[in-house]
Structure 1
Amino acid sequence: MKNYDLYINGKWTVSKEKDFIEVENPATREIIAKVPAASESDVLMAIKGSKESFSKWSETAPLKRLNYVNKMYDYFVQNKDEISKTLSLELGCPLDFAKVRHVEPYLLNIENYLEIATGYSYVETNVDYTIYKEPVGVVACITPWNYPFGQIVKKVIPGLLAGNTILLKPSKRTPLTAYYFAAAAEYANLPSGVFQLLPGRGGEVGNVLAKHPDVDMVTFTGSTSGGKEVGKLALDSVKKLALELGGKSAAVVLPGADLKDSLKKVLDTVYLNVGQTCSAKSRLIAPRSLKKEVEETLIELTKTYKFGNPLEDEVDVGSLQSKAQLEKVSKYIEIGKEEATLLYEGEVPKGNGYYIGPVIFTEVSPKARIAQEEIFGPVLCVIYYDTVEEAVEIANDSIYGLSGMVFGPGEDALKVARQIRTGQIQVNDGVFSQNAPFGGYKQSGLGREGSIYGFEEFLEIKAIFM
């Protein structure tokens, strides 16, 4: 079992409190590592270093900053197999899935950020004034456990490229992947204080970062309740905020859609990663006239997914990430059995891990708890409609607005997609891209990640009149 240190001001540092968090492999419940739980004094030391290094880093030529980050990218490429293995162990997913879904797409995402930064103009000249786009300052990045590589990429990489200094607080559940960012910073000889790694507990690290007056921005990904708490703390000193929060996304199937192809795309979002994806399309909104065909196809397709130990061959779906996750998802399944009709419940895989099988509920009321609340597990709710207008109304009947899908004849599908209030929607064979802006309406968050819009979240706008 490996023990880790903090990475503060360009050095591997032993935490002052010598308090540790055990990291568990959820597929076996084996403790695989220990990371330090950063104390308040550790965090204050890191904030001080970030503030002191900001002036020099922000004034570093953009091309030079880009060269540093490009070296970090080289490190990730050289070590992507090791990163994938570590991620697989701490998240509980199959190794191939870790590599193909959790690591490689985000390497392409880094390439896209590097391309954006290469041609980006930080000065815009107008007739009466000039716009200067400047780094925000010291940025606290608070990242979730379900995408431990990708979510750090979407915060740390554009933040550094834009000239900010970074304080990274990864989830205590999956902190090991974050250590590759510290190793990459060391490999690239990033100046002292530009990147800090502070694993630990939310109340002891995240809250200090959110409240501290020398932190200029907080970018947070996690639950909506967690985002609200962080936001309240950050707004006490009116920090800039970027929040990527929860979702209860809808997939609308219109008459005339390719049913098997459509439902397979929906189930991929609900089952893969064991449903631990904020953009999972966990509400299927389908025509009542196709009820029999929809339900038969869902059961047929569900049986093609193999749930089980991620180390076994041909397993598509591994374990939930923690005991808390298992208890939460199991509770919602019991609630669903009282609120709706259980269409299918897959066998729970054998083993010592936090395993669960796929579950489908049908005849779900749009107002049911399982249709309104984020379950974060492999649970699909099927809601039927009689008119397309009703389908749109159901899709929008949510506090969330993160993602979505619409399937059907092209013009009809696009018309429905335009009416759904959500940050992203895939129509028919539209392919999801990590390089597109990602973020939500309503209580799904503030701001965007990815693309030039995600890059500009880390900049402030200054107008100068001469």
Structure 2
Amino acid sequence: MERLKFYIDGAWVEPTTPATLGVVNPATEEVFARISLGSAPDVDRAVAAARRAFPAYAATSVEERLRLLRRIVEGFRARLPELARTMTLEMGAPITFATERQATVALFHFEEAVRVLERYRFEERMGNGIIRREPIGVCGLITPWNWPLNQVGSKVAPALATGCTVVLKPSEVAPLSAMLFAEIVHEAGVPAGVFNLVNGDGPTVGEAIAAHPGIDMVSFTGSTAAGVRVAKLAADTVKRVAQELGGKSANIILPDADLRGAVIEGVHASYTNAGQNCQSPTRMLIPRAQREAAFEAAREAVGAVRLGDPLDPACTMGPLVSGAQFEKVQDFIRSAIDEGATLVAGGPGRPAELNHGYYVRPTVFGDVTPGMRIAREEIFGPVLSIMNYDSEDEAVEIANDTPFGLAGFVQSRDPAHARAISNRIRSGRVYINGAAFDRSLPFGGYKQSGNGREFGVFGFEEYLEVKAILGAAG
């Protein structure tokens, strides 16, 4: 499969300078597709197209933008199986998960953008004037490989809904689903230049987007280190920067919780997407007196994981995305053993039954202390740390003892008790007792987990400027 063109100004075009990259299927370790890697001149072309398109698109009516978004939703639904299968091939998500979560949640963002846009008030009276909200302009969107379409949707949907134009750089590791999405956008009749896609790596295309003087806002999802780089590059042009970065979320299991159920659910939650999930509850905090029972429940949960061919509907965990990611996670596992953590399940190396693919054994460590590397750094693999506490105050202190603040989790039979603990956790989201995903609620982090918010009205308003018009209220 060769996808060597970029989508710029309403057409598929050749890159300025030919350079290709193989896309690897992580389950087979074989190249199955090739893309082009872009350069700064490709970004220049895309930005120029987006700038030309912006005035007319920003002036479109709400009804016109709703029609476009609804056509995107229709096209997305029609191609959902193809999108899901493509993500399975490019980043290893099991096909059932790719269909029910990866592709479907991405679709949710466009449905949510329609819902918000239908009700949103772009003007309101205040004092002796009018507060008006206007599209910020040309938006550079840089998205990761772990949720390739979800993060595209969470950025592109509100950008288009608010009247912005877009230059998108999907991850070069998993770019193919975003290219299929570009076809959906084209078929929906989005005007030329409103949506543009340039493939490439972060140091070349990503940095060109972040620094470009023709881009008014950059929205980035990825590692904290890369986010710092994006912010520094963006600072010279004082553009708005919205970032969703790393996480090291704590899952506090309170003494009054159903321990076995909470541990089993917590293990599976930390293994979502093979652990390649920024808000995974990778630090499980348990009362010290319940240590042995927690270990037993964790082993039970690990025993239910089904590794294998991600195209098999029975598979519940696929490979990691790349050889580099596999080696990174192996290094974390070895470091935990060297630092004295108790190996509860899993361990280093590939699962015995799999002799190819970037598969990691689902792993649980117990007796992890706050100073250990696996308790401090984001692993991005199926590795869970169980940490002991003696009091609830200590549990909250451990939960907040991190440079990150993306999410928190609290388990208790008493909802009021769980709520009181939730209020003390320094993170952008807290899930109580396995609460379900809600696309209307804001997503984003405290501290080094980023700034700005995605999803719902909060994500919508990231793409708007606020203008005060004085003397116009009458």
User: Does the pair score TM above 0.5?
Assistant: yes
Could you say which residue in structure 1 is the equivalent of 2:86?
86
Q: Does 1:372 align with 2:376?
A: yes
Instruction: Pick which of 428-437 and 327-336 moved more.
Output: 428-437
Could you say which residue in structure 1 is the equivalent of 2:258?
258
- Partner of 1:218, secondary structure, is strand
Alignment partner of 1:437 out of 428, 437, 442: 442
Could you say which residue in structure 1 is the equivalent of 2:452?
447
**1:116-265 alignment, distance < 5 Å:** 116-265=116-265
Contact kept? 2:109, 2:157, Cα under 8 Å: no
- Partner of 1:333, secondary structure, is helix
- Partner of 1:21, secondary structure, is strand
Q: Does 1:338 align with 2:338?
A: yes
Could you say which residue in structure 2 is the equivalent of 1:396?
400
Alpha-carbon distance in structure 2 between the residues aligned to 1:443 and 1:68: 36
Q: Does 1:38 align with 2:38?
A: yes
- Partner of 2:7, secondary structure, is strand
Contact kept? 2:112, 2:439, Cα under 8 Å: no
- Partner of 1:425, secondary structure, is strand
- Partner of 2:34, secondary structure, is strand
Contact kept? 1:207, 1:233, Cα under 8 Å: yes
Q: Structure 1 residue 184: deviation in Å?
A: 1.4
Q: Structure 1 residue 4: deviation in Å?
A: 3.2
Could you say which residue in structure 2 is the equivalent of 1:68?
68
Q: Structure 1 residue 308: deviation in Å?
A: 2.3
- Partner of 1:320, secondary structure, is coil
Whichever residue aligns with residue 344 of structure 2, its letter is L
- Partner of 2:423, secondary structure, is helix
Q: Does 1:424 align with 2:429?
A: yes
Alpha-carbon distance in structure 2 between the residues aligned to 1:172 and 1:222: 13
Whichever residue aligns with residue 133 of structure 1, its letter is R
Aligned CA-pair RMSD:
1.2
**1:12-27 alignment, distance < 5 Å:** 12-27=12-27
Alpha-carbon distance in structure 2 between the residues aligned to 1:312 and 1:179: 24
Contact kept? 2:29, 2:356, Cα under 8 Å: yes
Whichever residue aligns with residue 377 of structure 2, its letter is E
Alpha-carbon distance in structure 2 between the residues aligned to 1:173 and 1:416: 39
Provide the TM-score with structure 2 as the length reference.
0.96
Q: Structure 1 residue 207: deviation in Å?
A: 0.7
* Partner deviation per Cα, 1:113-163 (whole Å, 9 max, x = no partner): 101001111001123121010000000000000000100000001001101
Moved over 3 A (4+): none
- Partner of 2:148, secondary structure, is coil
Percentage of matched positions with identical amino acids: 41
Whichever residue aligns with residue 443 of structure 2, its letter is F
Instruction: Pick which of 424-433 and 40-49 moved more.
Output: 424-433
**Structure 2 unaligned runs (5+)?**
none
Contact kept? 1:251, 1:283, Cα under 8 Å: yes
Q: Structure 1 residue 256: deviation in Å?
A: 1.5
Q: Structure 1 residue 313: deviation in Å?
A: 5.2
Alpha-carbon distance in structure 1 between the residues aligned to 2:415 and 2:290: 19
